[in-house]
Amino acid sequence: MTRATAPGKFILFGEHAVVYGQPAIAFPLRQLRVTAQINIIPDAPRGHVRLHAPDIHYHAWLHEADEENPLRKIVELTLDEIHAQSSPAIEVRVSSEILVASGLGSGAAVSTAIVRALCQHFEQPLELERQSELVYEVEKIHHGTPSGIDNTVIIYDQPVYFIRGHQPERLSISGELTFILADTGLPSNTGQIVGNLRNAWEQNRPTFDTIFNHIGQVAERAKSAIAAGDVKSIGILMDENQQLLEQLGVSSETISGLLTTARDHGAYGAKLSGAGVGGIIITLVQPTASTRIVNALREAGAVWTGVTKV
């Protein structure tokens, strides 16, 4: 038996605009993880692979799964890469602590954990950059035109300043930042939301490019604020980023209600994180205010909350 894990992620600045070449800032979410386990199946033909994801009640032989199934895709890509197709039969079992369709990188984390587990099982290590490339191919199934930020921050497991097509830059952080994440309880279909936004952009590029540029400028300023440990400025910039996301049409009344609750109870700043419409919101808080704000968010309708420190 071989086991490997991968963290979730959250985007602090720059979602959506990052698809159009603007910078974004993201952090790994190490408290929530995906685990991939490889078990040998002694009584099955060589080369056979069984996929098992009990969290979603899914199990199938690899060759019987839909060709666009993300589990099948990442297993096939990895086995081809490490030349392990004719090995003894195995089961790839996946379990996850990460909320699905929430903006926390569930899809990329699953793919990452599988790549790592298979490489360890067959004793065929891959460079992190190549792992990221494999996971990115599967991200296309999930998101259509992904920026690459999810696979990057999860594979490298470190805070990143990310611009599409460039080498990721490790983010410099001064001091400790405390965030509260809260789930709206509404699904966030990243592929559909990204596709709808692209259609809107194609019909009105000047307007949307202006918004994307402003989001990029916010991310640039936030990079400096994070390096300086300027918590109040980070919070102000989170609110500014949220206003721009609202102009893109990816927020919702549910998101706005939770953000208002967080700010009213003392958060430095608050915004959606990820594709939007539903999914996760994130708030920057003073550590001593965490319990008060968590309780307020739950009373306001958040179906899950978590506190993370960076």
Q: Do 182 and 152 fall into the same domain?
A: no
Angle at 280 between CA 278 and CA 283, to 5 degrees: 130
Question: From residue 122, how far is each of 1, 130, 150 by CA, in Å?
Answer: 11, 16, 26
The structure's pTM equals 0.85
Of the residues 110, 135, 169, the one at which a domain ends: 169
What does the pLDDT read at residue 305?
A: 92
Of the residues 154, 169, 184, the one at which a domain ends: 169
User: Quick check: helix, strand or coil at residue 50?
Assistant: strand
What does the pLDDT read at residue 144?
A: 66
Query: Any idea which residue has 């993300």 for tokens?
Result: 70
Largest CA distance in the chain: 61
Q: Do 194 and 160 fall into the same domain?
A: no
Beta bridge partner(s), residue 8: 29
Q: Do 78 and 152 fall into the same domain?
A: yes
- Count of the separate structural domains present in the chain: 2
Spatial CA neighbour of 108 closest among 145, 76, 70: 70
Write down how long the chain is: 310
Q: Do 202 and 134 fall into the same domain?
A: no
CATH code assigned at 54: 3.30.230.10
Q: Do 11 and 157 fall into the same domain?
A: yes
CATH code assigned at 201: 3.30.70.890
What does the pLDDT read at residue 87?
A: 81
What does the pLDDT read at residue 213?
A: 97
Domain extent, residue 117, equals 2-169
Q: Do 76 and 40 fall into the same domain?
A: yes
Beta bridge partner(s), residue 280: 183, 273
Of the residues 128, 144, 169, the one at which a domain ends: 169
Cβ atoms < 10 Å from Cβ of 156: 16
What does the pLDDT read at residue 164?
A: 85
pLDDT average per 10 residues of sequence, the chain (310 residues): 93 93 93 93 89 90 88 93 84 89 85 96 93 91 75 91 86 89 87 89 96 97 94 96 96 95 96 90 94 95 90
Q: Do 249 and 290 fall into the same domain?
A: yes
User: Quick check: helix, strand or coil at residue 117?
Assistant: helix
What does the pLDDT read at residue 143?
A: 65
